[in-house]
Amino acid sequence: MSENSNQKTDLRRREFLKGLATVPVFGLFLANLWQKLRRDELKRNNLLTDLVQEKKAPAVISRLSDSKHLNLGVIGYGGRGSHLVRGAGFATKGWTDGAYKRSKENKLDKAFPTFMSQEDLNCSLVGVCDLFDVNADFGLNASQNDVRPGGKPKASATRYKHYTELLAQDDIDAVIVATPDHWHSRITIDAAKAGKHVYCEKGLTRTFQEALDVYDTIKETGMVLQLGHQNRQVEANDKAKQIIDQGLLGPINLVELTTNRNSSWGAWVWNIHKDGNNKTIDWDMFQEPSPNKIPFGEEALKRFFRWRCWYDYGTGLSGDLFSHDYDALNQILGMGIPKYASSSGGIYFYKDGRDVPDVWHVTLEYPDRDMTVLYSATLSSNNSRGNRIMGHDATMMMGGQSNVGSVGGFIVTADSESTQYRERLKNGVINSKYPIFSYSPGSKQIDGVTSATSQYFANKGLLYTYREGKRVDPTHLHIKDWLDSIRSGTQPKCNVDVAFQEAVTCAMATESYLTGRRVEWDPVKRRLI
């Protein structure tokens, strides 16, 4: 039974007991009370019909993938790279064997059936490039594994030592870029100039200037770029946008976004692979674009496997986690790049040599919209706070405190001082203590996500979503959206214009933290002030 149902039952029970204490004629009271409860129920049902103009959920997926066959290359086959390639339909034999075994041992584990139910995207993985030999071998294995949605693969991959060798191959149509952030801009630009379409993992770039360079190159070449924000495929975001576009929240002046993690893995203290050494890792190539160079050794190994902890290679909380929440909010509200950004924080818990903060706060100001966005993050507390969009008439709570399940569920609760709902509040049709609308696409589905980090992403709607009641990996939908856009000559959901907005916003937040000042965006001269 849902929490809302429990609340209704408790409310009815309280009203019944109150009636017993005050009304002497039990039979008459019971009849009148039942009629009142039925009237209230009808009122609430009518309220939802009145307020929410329901639209049919998106179809599972449009079938464009059976047209032109596409050959893919992947540059960077690490944790995220392997997930992206799996979204395209290719997984290592070790992964499929393990996932199948877990599904048999635990019916709650749906990773294997979810993977096998993916649409065959009519593509082949023909090129793999990684600076770590172990990862490159995994990529080759994934290209050859016949346990996949489309059955036996049509081709197998070739390993390339340098990404330029992969880009030089005429038979490769598009590339997935899943390297550390400091390589994103260079590889994306070179790929576009080589006539390859690009799926680039977020954040788009490490610096503001790189964002400008990538944007201009994609526009000049006409290649299709998709940024790795799989939340663009989450059905709940479409529903949230629908509700807000109807004006049900009233004027929105304040938005709160949060990140809460409390594990070493969630703080990017990732394992150093036992086979990592100067023979299996091309360290000089890895650090070539970074501003600071160090010789290979113990510190280099730590930085290679835990690169998100340093600004030389990544953007910390800004590009890794804040970018997801910003993009989801941008999808719902369409607010674009802020006028001002201010950020603060520090390294308070993980004293491991990193230079990116583990507690971080950002304020984004949109004076043209009369709105401020607040982002608050900690890597040392798992107290889920959720995200909330606060309007004059109602507040939308998403994830965390919404208590409506994972995969981006949300509730809408009327404000006690609402102008729009004043009469309904006065007449008791709306009670500001209870939601007027609840959306939980996965509430009736089995959730086999157990780890703290995985659950964090699940609550953000980043591990799976639902289409027509079917559990689907949003990364698969996002890869499909990109491939179908290549075939049709259209733009994907997280195209270069959207990607540029995210990159500039994250760069503003990072710049503010590093310089200790408020940063302003000049859209005319395309510069930060």
DSSP state string for 71-133: EEEEE--SHHHHHHHHHTT---HHHHHHHHHHHHH-TT--HHHHHHTS---SEEEEEEE-SBH
How confident is the model over 137-148, as pLDDT tens digits? Answer: 999 999 999 999
Residue 440 tokens read as: 């939980």
pLDDT at residue 284, rounded to an integer: 97
Question: Residue 58 has what pLDDT?
Answer: 40
Q: Categorise residue 405: left if φ over 0, alpha if ψ from -120 to 50, beta otherwise.
A: left
Nearest Cα to 409, choosing from 418, 417, 400? 400
Q: Which domains does the chain have, with CATH numbers?
A: 70-231 (3.40.50.720), 233-270+306-468+496-528 (3.30.360.10)
Q: 99 and 130 in contact (C-beta within 8 Å)?
A: no
In the Cβ-directed half-sphere of 79, how many Cα atoms lie within 13 Å?
11
* DSSP bridge pairs for 152: none
Q: What are phi and psi of 345, to 5 degrees?
A: 150, -160
Q: Which helix (H) or strand (E) holds 198?
A: strand 197-200
**Tens-level pLDDT at each residue, the chain (529 residues):** 444 555 544 545 454 444 444 444 445 555 555 555 555 554 454 454 455 555 444 444 445 445 899 999 999 999 999 999 999 999 999 999 999 999 999 988 888 998 999 999 999 999 999 999 999 999 999 999 999 998 999 999 999 999 999 999 999 999 999 999 999 999 999 999 999 999 999 999 999 999 999 999 999 999 999 999 988 888 788 888 989 999 999 999 999 999 999 999 999 999 999 999 999 999 999 999 999 999 999 999 999 999 999 999 999 999 999 999 999 999 999 999 999 999 999 999 999 999 999 999 999 999 999 999 999 999 999 888 889 999 999 999 987 543 433 445 788 999 999 999 999 899 888 889 888 888 776 544 333 333 344 344 344 444 455 555 566 788 999 999 999 999 999 999 999 999 999 999 999 999 999 999 999 999 999 999 9
Question: pLDDT tens, 240-258?
Answer: 898 999 999 999 999 999 9
Q: Tokens for 138?
A: 């995994």
Measuring CA to CA, which residue among 211, 214, 206, 212 is closest to residue 312? 206
- Residue 254 class from Cβ within 10 Å (0-12 exposed, 13-18 middle, 19+ buried)? middle
Label the pairing between strands 519-522 and 340-346.
antiparallel
Q: ∠ CA 448-481-69 to the nearest 5 degrees? A: 110
Query: How open is the CA angle 154-156-162, to the nearest 5 degrees?
Result: 140
Sequence-separated (6 or more) residues with CB below 8 Å from residue 522:
528, 529
What is the rounded distance in angstroms from the CA atom of residue 424 to the CA atom of residue 43?
10
Contact 144, 128 (CB under 8 A): no
User: For 115, what's the count of Cα atoms within 13 Å in the CB-facing half-sphere?
Assistant: 26
Nearest alpha carbon to residue 330 among 289, 282, 379, 364: 364
pLDDT digits (tens, 9 = 90+) for 55-80: 444 444 445 445 899 999 999 999 99
CA gap 481, 465 in Å, rounded: 15
Tokens of 431: 């009670």
